[in-house]
Amino acid sequence: MTTERAFVRVDHDGPVAILTFDRPEARNAWNDAMCEQFAAALGSLDRDDTIRCLVLTGAGSAFHAGGDVKLMRERSGMFAGDAAELRQRYQRGIQAVPRAIAEFGKPLLAAINGAAIGAGLDLACMCDLRLAARGAQLGSTFCKIGLVPGDGGAFFLARVVGFPRALELMLTARLVDADEALRLGLVHDVVAPEQLLAAARAKALQIAAHPPHAVALTKRAAYRSWNVDQAQALELAATYQGIAQTHPDHLRALGS
């Protein structure tokens, strides 16, 4: 009996969990098992009340290279089949990633230690905050290899940098370095490579210091209010505030 290799590794650091994509020989590119393991890990961490914040990073030199070009050439694994089968594979496979992230109630930080390419950039854009190591390169490179962002990247990139800039990045398929990514608003901060995880932990701990129910409801309110009108946003805010204001966390915070 063979045991499936683990392509994601989770380490606990107090209230912060570090999830590392661990397929460095493929620059941490997706395969079916990694997608499944990542979605399962997020579900488990979301249920763990000792974890208040999650940091994603990559093993080796890359954060995440997106799709596995070797599998694309072979038309195997998640890239096998005709158009109808491929559509189903995307819906059941890699699109499980944005669905799992959308259901994840805790803050999610991307510590971009190296290249974030194609679906790897999309993954970073699905996170709530992004920190990059100086020297990292980021790019929505699907057009360069005759593809589209099948994981929903066109949606996520536009939400981060705005539609006009996202369109330019996608159509040119150009790479940007970490410093340009900061100027574009694609990442929140750029630090020296050796300081990246420490900076991500520090940011995560800053968030984790706050009452967790307030953090979770604030995150939910921000996302749920994004595409609704003012009346709906105000109703949502009143509802969530009613929950937060009667929660023991609020009373403890007032007394501290």
pLDDT of residue 165: 97
Report whether pLDDT(177) > 90.
Answer: yes
Per-residue model confidence as pLDDT tens digits over 57-106 = 999 999 999 887 787 677 877 677 788 887 887 788 788 999 999 999 99
What is the Cα–Cα distance from 15 to 209, expressed in whole angstroms?
Answer: 9
Share of the chain above pLDDT 70, in %: 98
Has domain 8-208 been given CATH number 3.30.710.10?
A: no
**CA within 13 Å, CB half, 202:** 8
What is the Cα–Cα distance from 67 to 90, expressed in whole angstroms?
Answer: 11
Report whether pLDDT(2) > 60.
Answer: no
pLDDT of residue 85: 83
pLDDT of residue 79: 73
pLDDT of residue 1: 47
**Mean pLDDT value of segment 122-145:** 97
Summary mean pLDDT of the chain: 93
Q: Which residue has the tokens 């070009």?
A: 69
pLDDT of residue 3: 64
* Residue 202 parent element (H or E): helix 196-208
Least confident of 55-59, 92-96, 134-138, 199-203: 92-96
User: Angle 50-6-63 (CA atoms, 0-180°, nearest 5)?
Assistant: 80
Per-residue model confidence as pLDDT tens digits over 147-158 = 889 888 999 999
Report residue 178's pLDDT band, with 50, 70 and 90 as the boundaries.
Answer: very high
What is the Cα–Cα distance from 41 to 84, expressed in whole angstroms?
Answer: 29
Domain ranges within the chain, ordered by starting residue:
8-208, 212-255
What is the Cα–Cα distance from 198 to 224, expressed in whole angstroms?
Answer: 31
